Structure 1
């Protein structure tokens, strides 16, 4: 049995429209009218309207959560549609928070949607999260996950977290002081570049649906006080074997308490050390490639993306050196130290990390191509898709 109380008080009596819409919820043992009234009175913040946020938002809205906040600063792109099911082709170019609001209105017009079209950071997180009863973290990077977990602990609200990559997914619940936090599960962030993102390694869209649905289910359980939440339990899903397994974890008694929100990009090593002197534009790169073709320049063009990304599109004349191999040092012996190295990735983050890693390894002629392949496709090779 769950020893935790419901998150909040129930709202007013349900009107006939709410009763009809939520009739299947009202039939559930232990849920009933009181549980539905709690949902209708709840405020849930969803971080990210992407692969995980999409199914979570749709199921929370369908369940009848009264107020849903969505924070995301991104716009809808074609490549999102493979897994971000809250958006459609007609939403291309729209802010994801606006697209999500429209979709939620179609699912349940009784839901009040609050949109926050900005990037969550240490300066705005506490004020935002404190205005909600629960946060659902569907973010896709380690810096935001640590930020959300720390902020939720400060605000004393539950943090329902999930992550996906390729054919696998993870989901858990963090809630201080009732259980461990994200930091107890992952005390230190991984080395930059050691864990690929969905944008570099891919993800099966249906896995996002599985994990996002579980996240919504955990949120509903916490709001209504039913069942046993995933506090101190990590659920792992493998789509290739259609299997689940569970790992239990506890609060670290020796861990230092978090006393303030910090620079989470710096903590995770994702702050670029490259500056304007260490970068060239794609227009400059095109000119350099012409010079090299004419025999008037000698350099290597390094693509630090994954092999699967190169199959989609690459810059002619580049060689593949995935960032993980470069950071681990496995690829350094094959790189020349006596001529220029120009480095690119998808948009610039990994190439900046690569330039920093090369500098630490003693390479003095490594330069980032700003904007990466996205900028190359936009300016130099329009018409190619990524």
Structure 2
């Protein structure tokens, strides 16, 4: 490997780093030679990417399969109104290259999965978790344990956030602290629970700070410690945790191991193909056309009460949170077709599959594909996406 040198322009750009005793020119060279993969270019990924680019991390990878949406802009500050409809990876790459043209920015327009995780993660020194789902988080954790890579964890919920560092030189891993994911009703994502827009900026900045401390080999890194921040009360505290000596170390990536951590039984899978085999789907346009021709299905909303206040689709007969459906089956008729909807079609698919698997419904059960989002795009643009 050729010797890392700082150009005169770089010395000017990083001047405030160079005068820090903990960084200096030697430290800045470490930063320049480092590579970091950021999983997710959303709320957490935005500040992480921008601050690491500004700091001079030599190679930054961005992985995300989503496109910029209007609802992202309240907190995902790396994107702008002009980016709507663009791949988040492309939008993020353009922004960090504007911040620092000298860095290398790699993009992966895909979701991190057990199939591609090793190949992608193996090319970087440090991994940053900017995700909002547990399946991807456990995939990051398991892959980093196998490859011996440190990773920086961050999570947000309404006004609260958490930060920690896992798998740093043999330090505890995510499964030591969280052997099992909480049930969905206790850990809804931002789209379901909401989040104060500045919170991911705060938590993401802490994550970027931990990355730089790891690169610079500084003291005080949050390995074996979980930082808890409540921005409503401004209560900030740290909890210490240890490795679980009885936990079997991860040696290979498997869907079964991820499913176990998520609390799924053998009949449930991260692969939604099994769900689709047990229920039918109907698009918003197909639904509207059939209703105009006299079809009268039971129209069931399985979102949360807070979401119902934002918008409700016409002809909705009942709203029940998807987690309450098993205990309220008596409210759902078994003598007419049922169409189930939610924000994007994911929760409604789970409920549709559950109803068909229960065997109590001889009539047809449909999932409204794409949910309110697709309805807004194809049927009525006045229906707000959120």
TM-score between both structures, scaled by the size of structure 1: 0.90
Aligned match of 1:77: 69
The corresponding residue for 2:122 is: 130
Larger deviation: 138-147 or 274-283? 274-283
For residues 190-210 of structure 1, give each alpha carbon's deviation from its aligned partner in whole angstroms, at most 9, with x where no partner exists.
334542110111111100001
Corresponding position: 1:372 with 2:364? no
Q: Which runs of structure 2 are paired with 1:90-105 in the superposition (5 Å)?
A: 90-105=82-97
Task: State the partner residue of 2:314.
Answer: 316
**Does the CA contact (< 8 Å) of 1:235 and 1:244 recur in 2?**
yes
Task: Name the residue aligned to 1:67.
Answer: 59
- For residues 357 and 194 of structure 1, what CA distance do their matches in structure 2 show? 20
Corresponding residue for 2:336? 339
Number of the residue aligned with 2:276: 275
Is 2:352 the partner of 1:352? no
Q: 1:348 to 1:71 in 2, by over 3 A?
A: same
167-176 vs 81-90, which moves further: 167-176
Q: In structure 2, what is the Cα distance between the partners aligned to 1:336 and 1:271? A: 29
Please state if 1:261 is matched with 2:259.
no
Residue 110 (structure 2) pairs with residue 118 (structure 1):
yes
Q: Which residue number in structure 2 is paired with residue 384 of structure 1? A: 383
Residue equivalent to 1:304: 302
RMSD: 2.1
Q: 1:232 to 1:359 in 2, by over 3 A?
A: farther
Query: How much has 1:288 moved relative to structure 2?
Result: 4.5
Alpha carbons of structure 1 residues 87 and 343: separation in structure 2 relative to 1, 3 Å: same
Alpha-carbon separation, structure 2, partners of 1:161 and 1:279: 36
Q: 1:340 to 1:177 in 2, by over 3 A?
A: farther
**In the superposition, relative to structure 1, how do residues 65 and 177 fare at CA in structure 2: closer, same or farther (>3 Å)?**
closer
- Whether the 8 Å CA contact 1:10–1:38 is kept in 2: the answer is no
> Cα gap change, 1:108/1:87 in structure 2, threshold over 3 Å: closer, same or farther?
same
Q: Does the Cα contact within 8 Å between 1:11 and 1:40 map onto a contact in 2?
A: no
Q: Is the contact between residue 168 and residue 223 of structure 2 (CA under 8 Å) also seen in structure 1?
A: no
| DSSP-derived class of the 2:226 partner | strand
For 1:172-191, list aligned pairs within 5 A: 172-175=164-167, 178-191=170-183
Instruction: Render the CA deviation track for 1:240-280: whole Å, top value 9, x for unaligned.
Output: 10121222221111112222112277453454342265222
Contact 2:150 2:169 in 1 (8 A): no
Counterpart for residue 267 of structure 2: none
> How far, CA to CA, are the matches of 2:376 and 2:54 in structure 1?
40
Encode CA deviations 1:280-307: one digit per residue, 9 max, x unaligned: 222332245446xx6x63x421111222
Q: Distance in 2 between matches of 1:172 and 1:180?
A: 10
Distance 2:359 2:22 in 1: 64
C-alpha displacement of 1:351: 0.9
Structure 2 partner of 1:242: 234
Contact 2:375 2:383 in 1 (8 A): no
- Residue 206 (structure 2) pairs with residue 214 (structure 1): yes
Superposed CA deviations along residues 159-213 of structure 1, whole A, max 9, x for unmatched, are 1010111111111111165211111121112334542110111111100001000
Instruction: Give a deviation string over 1:13-52, Cα, whole Å, max 9, x none.
Output: 3221111111111122322111111000001000000000
For residue 351 of structure 2, give the secondary structure of its aligned residue in structure 1.
helix
Name the SS for the 2:223 alignment partner.
coil
Alignment of 1:34-73 (within 5 A): 34-73=26-65
- How far residue 385 of structure 1 moved from its aligned partner, in angstroms, is 2.7
1-structure distance, mates of 2:347, 2:302: 7
* TM-score normalised according to structure 2 size: 0.90
Moved more, 162-171 or 338-347: 338-347
Write the distance in 1 (CA, Å) between the matches of 2:157 and 2:72: 15
Partners in 1 of 2:3 and 2:134 — Cα distance? Answer: 36
* Distance in 1, Cα, partners of 2:9 & 2:119: 34
1:5 equivalent in structure 2: none
